[in-house]
Chain A
């Protein structure tokens, strides 16, 4: 793709520049929400949504191709399943202490970043699942629309030929 072509895809230069500047900040805010999930409001779900939004933001500003370079459909769906497996694995590890979902790690000090046993890890697993899942849902909605449009074009062409 030449320089000019990449400029014509997606939205205007202003939107692209702003996006380039803010995407990093959005992701790091999402990561902050995830990491402090056990200490402050937020957690895996909210943080995962924010991380997914940053990718959606990229996709809106630069078009699908640019976003898929960073996170393809296939990888997103793999991450989603991996997040779920990670969560279930944590729950299963509780059986080392005799119970499903047992918080088997040391709880640590109150309000310290590394505390609360498996809860931060659960938040991480949820954020992976939710982030990748939300991105996949967005992609599915967008690409379904694209394929419907492609179908319409095909039908039109067919009619013209007739």
Chain B
């Protein structure tokens, strides 16, 4: 008999099976890697949409791996937040896979790329669906290690350097996370997140929980690239091939960093006043410093990478505020950012594919030669800058409203300033790259192949349609459950363990 919860492990099984089958058979023929990755991505995207629907019909779904009951065995949980993140990750994965089919032609051994790519997806999905703290760490490492290798995929000198830096800093971050998990394990004698939430609620807080919280903020903050821990991102994200930059900036920093921070601080440890203000402070610092660093950049991808730091700041600011409206805005911005930032990275990849340069000064007037790329790029830029009616506007508006409602006028002021600076920075991109006079060098430049165009148009469509998420049915089915899951706080433990007793 098939239960609704049987869907849960497949988010890990499909990409893992795809990755290892590809490494066995990927060398056989040229079409095998593309085909296998495409099948996996379509299946994952379909299942993630299905999971959102299943959550709305059946409520909270739980799965015990190997029929071992949690807290002894490993539990997997599908709640509103999980379903929301799964849809975000797998939607972007699908678009990026479509893009890679043409884009990765210029690299050798495509099957290696897809193997690593699918492993990274498996890790991200695993982090999202697991209900076990140590299991989360294992999946986090799978995704991180795969991403270290993907950053170095071009094997040029600067790529290897960036990957090395990323690997060292990422490993240090992972070490902090592992140490924090060890502290919590000694204190609660359990690794299941729901069980841990209950025991922490019973035993109350202590110095060791505070220590673990600090370590989590450092480790997961590094994965999310919040400002004092951001140094790896501006090197690593531009160095990767464009589809991977899109995945890293679009979903990796969110599923490994923001989601885990949310899950641990909202549902396991419980959000206290001090943690909330730390998260908000980190958010506002990232938001402002990220955008200031971005304005001066002339490398297209590096500029986008700095904007990722800034936009993650918005997400953390909204989520750290902890009010229902703030969380809703933060999560909505998370979704929107993953769509428009991956689109922008794909745009930069398309420009690089056609012209071979990433320097904004060298480009110019490309809109005449590459209408689809420049059109989608305009949409994405308007979205990230928060121009109505694109999706970025609505989420930033929600965050600013939430800040004003909570009486945090200072933070709201900085959010507005950062938004204006973002707009100016993207006006610069538009002016130098796509509008203005056509640089003579690019007279013979052609628009990118069909599949790359298709993927960019798909994402641009979501950018426009995404603004509708806060209205009506889709938002109720999709965004509200995620915010509710975070607002249940440490009651999460009771909700899940009820099914055991």
Residues in A lying within 8 Å of B, measured CB to CB = 77-78, 80-82, 84-85, 88, 91-92, 94, 97-103
Contact = CB atoms under 8 A, between A and B. Distances in A.
Interface string B110-152: 0000000000000000000000000000000000000000000
Nearest to B19: A84
* Interface size bracket, B side: 10 to 19
25 contacts: A77-B23, A78-B24, A81-B21, A81-B23, A81-B24, A82-B24, A84-B16, A84-B20, A85-B17, A85-B24, A88-B16, A88-B17, A91-B13, A94-B66, A98-B1, A98-B67, A99-B64, A99-B65, A99-B67, A100-B9, A100-B13, A100-B66, A101-B65, A102-B66, A103-B66
Contacts of A97: 67
Contacts of B23: 77, 80-81
Residue among A80, A99, A100 with most chain B CB within 10 A: A100
Given A92-B13, A100-B9, A81 B67 contact: no
B63 interface: yes
Nearest to B3: A98
B262 to A, nearest CB: 26
Given A78-B24, A84-B20, A88-B20, 18 more contacts: A80-B23, A81-B23, A81-B24, A84-B16, A85-B20, A85-B21, A85-B24, A88-B16, A92-B13, A98-B67, A99-B64, A99-B66, A99-B67, A100-B9, A100-B63, A100-B65, A101-B65, A101-B66
- Interface of B, helix, strand, loop or mixed by DSSP: helix
Contact of A88 (B1, B13, B66): B13
B24 A102 contact: no
Interface in B38-87: 63-67
Interface in B4-25: 9, 13, 16-17, 20-21, 23-24
Contacts of B1: 98
B21 to A, nearest CB: 7
B115 to A, nearest CB: 9
Nearest to A97: B67
Contacts of B66: 94, 99-103
Nearest to B17: A88
A144 to B, nearest CB: 11
B25 to A, nearest CB: 9
Contacts, number: 38
A89 B316 CA distance: 40
A90 to B, nearest CB: 11
A97 B16 CA distance: 21
Contact of B67 (A78, A85, A92, A102): A102
Nearest to A82: B24
Interface string B213-247: 00000000000000000000000000000000000
A82 B24 CA distance: 7
Nearest to B23: A81
A130 B31 CA distance: 29
A92 B12 CA distance: 11
B245 to A, nearest CB: 25
B156 to A, nearest CB: 14
Nearest to A103: B66
Contacts of A92: 13
A81 B63 contact: no
Contacts of B65: 99-101
A84 B67 CA distance: 22
A94 to B, nearest CB: 7
Nearest to A92: B13
A107 to B, nearest CB: 13
A98 B63 CA distance: 11
Q: Which 8 A-B pairs have the closest CB atoms?
A: A101-B66, A81-B23, A100-B9, A84-B20, A99-B67, A81-B24, A85-B20, A101-B65
A119 B65 CA distance: 15
Nearest to A86: B20
**Which of A78, A81, A94: most chain B CB closer than 10 A?**
A81
A98 B20 CA distance: 24
Contacts of B20: 81, 84-85, 88
Contacts of A94: 66
Nearest to A94: B66
Contacts of A82: 24
Nearest to A80: B23
Contacts of A91: 13
Contacts of B17: 85, 88
A140 to B, nearest CB: 12
Most buried by A among B9, B13, B63, B66: B66
B345 to A, nearest CB: 29
A94 B13 CA distance: 13
A4 to B, nearest CB: 38
Contacts of B13: 88, 91-92, 100
B395 to A, nearest CB: 36
Contacts of A98: 1, 67
Contacts of B64: 99
B379 to A, nearest CB: 40
A94 B74 CA distance: 15
A78 B27 CA distance: 11
A50 B24 CA distance: 24
Interface string B196-226: 0000000000000000000000000000000
A100 B63 CA distance: 9
Contacts of A99: 64-67
Contacts of B21: 81, 85
Nearest to B25: A81
A70 to B, nearest CB: 21
